[in-house]
Structure 1
């Protein structure tokens, strides 16, 4: 039996379904992301797990015991809110130790554990400061220390990096992941940021309209998306309208692909820009390769890569080249090559 199990969780708000039959199993020490766009039900799921929202149906089990109707203060879960929710009139030490005071832990033990938690998040020496005297990153660390100091069974992070600037957010991803691994603490992390999910978690549950579309490792989610939504939401992808023949074969820009179409309806081909490379139009495809030809429309420097837009008979294809590589001049005829195994085919959605 898994350490944490959500089975058939449902939550409605009047006529709106926020969470629709969500089931998820998490092993002890595992870090799992709930990833999806705003309004997909990920935060509601986390709040039901924390005991802040009552589910309309379903069960939650932790370490073999059902906790579905257990009050939040008896679940022993550490929750880091998006806004951090620090008490502005309390010092850093009092903020971190608040949960221990509520649990009537002795003063000496509280002091020791607060000191330990602040050391863990690299805030030793700032015990006497107020939240307004801290940077955004330091406030985030205080909120994390407050969640960890109670030694929770499960750590819950709700969009907790979204208020930080890009550089600090990148650094905090690694810090939180290192702390999670060193403590071996079971963690659920809610985010709409695919980079956070891919870099911080052992598995990802991608959510759409209150349901889980796919659960898998970061590599599974990125390389083997189970649905069109997952392929489109996680990572960047070219979407190329495909034509279907009577035998189930498909073609793009007039080129037959070594892929089969799902049954019924029109389909689109997905291919990651990073998987495509540009070669002179005279170069053949080679075995197991897909080859489309077109003309370079423009190139854009994006910092860590150069994006090249190739226009063909059926639209545009985006190709990512390494930064420093010289892209073909605008107007150059080129061949775009990628491995056939990198071709993804999904039913076309109505506009």
Structure 2
């Protein structure tokens, strides 16, 4: 049995199913992301794990013991809320000490552990300030220190970076990952941001409509999506309708492109896996190829997005900056390895 086990968790709110038969195993010291759009059930799953919401069905075990019906204060889990939930009338030190005081830890031990926690999150010397006197990033660190100071068995992060600006969010991603690794603490991180999930966690559980659609490491999720939803939600993808003639031959944009595809299927290819080539260049046996015209190109820093139009559709190719881009209106070939093609059936809206 793994260190943390979620088995068949279900939660309903009236007729709405928020979480539907979610099972997940997490090893000790592992960091796992629950990734998905709003309403997919990820936060409800985290709150059931914390004991803030009671499951209608299923079980939760930690280190071999059943904790499904234990109250939150007996689970020894640190929870970092999206809003940080700091007490505005308390100092930073008192905010961090709150959980220790509730547990009856001796005052001298509290002071020592608070100082350790402040140093861990790089806030040494700021213990006597109030939350309103701190920046957003500093408040986020206080919330993290408060969760870590109790030495939790599991750290739970609920959209904890969403209130930060892009640059600070990027810095905090690496900082939290570094702390998690140095402490070896088991962590579940809820996010709708795929970059956070891909960079901060050992594995990612992609959630859709209350269920786990796929779980795996970053490469599995990005390069080998198991479902259409995962392919569309994680990363960017060109989605190209597949046509089939009376003989069963497949084509895209009216151009022959042999594919094993269902009757109603779409081709998914990552823009980064494609390249622009001269029309005269043959595809080769291991490559796929379409032709079209350059509609426009957009400089995006480290790469250029080239929009190519053909057969009534469009696709985007991401080309490294500095690469020579054909003029708008030029006819080009778009080439990619056949192994990078993913085909999924169309789904009803």
Same fold (TM over 0.5): yes
Evaluate the alpha carbon distance shift between residue 72 and residue 319 of structure 1 in structure 2; reply closer, same or farther with a 3 A threshold.
Answer: same
Instruction: Report how far residue 254 of structure 1 moved.
Output: 2.9
Instruction: Report how far residue 322 of structure 1 moved.
Output: 1.3
**Counterpart in 2 of 1:343?**
341
Q: CA RMSD in A?
A: 1.2
**Does the alignment pair 1:287 with 2:265?**
no
**Counterpart in 1 of 2:125?**
125
Instruction: Report how far residue 309 of structure 1 moved.
Output: 0.5
Evaluate the alpha carbon distance shift between residue 291 and residue 234 of structure 1 in structure 2; reply closer, same or farther with a 3 A threshold.
Answer: same
Superposition TM-score, scaled by structure 2 size: 0.98
Alpha-carbon separation, structure 2, partners of 1:323 and 1:127: 46
Evaluate the alpha carbon distance shift between residue 330 and residue 120 of structure 1 in structure 2; reply closer, same or farther with a 3 A threshold.
Answer: same
**Counterpart in 1 of 2:71?**
71
Instruction: Report how far residue 255 of structure 1 moved.
Output: 3.2
Instruction: Report how far residue 324 of structure 1 moved.
Output: 2.9
Instruction: Report how far residue 245 of structure 1 moved.
Output: 4.8
Superposition map of 1:219-258 within 5 A: 219-245=219-245, 250-258=250-258
Instruction: Report how far residue 253 of structure 1 moved.
Output: 1.9
Contact 1:3 1:63 in 2 (8 A): yes
**Counterpart in 1 of 2:57?**
57
Evaluate the alpha carbon distance shift between residue 280 and residue 19 of structure 1 in structure 2; reply closer, same or farther with a 3 A threshold.
Answer: same
Superposition TM-score, scaled by structure 1 size: 0.97
Contact 1:244 1:261 in 2 (8 A): no
Deviations 1:72-123 (A, max 9, x none): 0000000000000000000000001100000000011111111111111000
Alpha-carbon separation, structure 1, partners of 2:114 and 2:247: 68
Evaluate the alpha carbon distance shift between residue 152 and residue 274 of structure 1 in structure 2; reply closer, same or farther with a 3 A threshold.
Answer: same
Residue ranges of structure 2 left out of the alignment (5+ in a row):
none
Contact 1:269 1:344 in 2 (8 A): yes
SS in 2 for 1:82: coil
Alpha-carbon separation, structure 1, partners of 2:346 and 2:156: 36
Instruction: Report how far residue 317 of structure 1 moved.
Output: 1.1
Query: Where do 4+ consecutive residues of structure 1 move more than 4 Å?
Result: 245-249
Superposition map of 1:148-297 within 5 A: 148-245=148-245, 250-262=250-262, 265-297=263-295
Deviations 1:119-139 (A, max 9, x none): 110000101000000000000
Evaluate the alpha carbon distance shift between residue 257 and residue 196 of structure 1 in structure 2; reply closer, same or farther with a 3 A threshold.
Answer: same
Contact 1:281 1:335 in 2 (8 A): yes
Alpha-carbon separation, structure 2, partners of 1:346 and 1:108: 61
Contact 1:80 1:156 in 2 (8 A): yes
SS in 1 for 2:257: strand
**Does the alignment pair 1:316 with 2:322?**
no
Contact 1:40 1:211 in 2 (8 A): yes
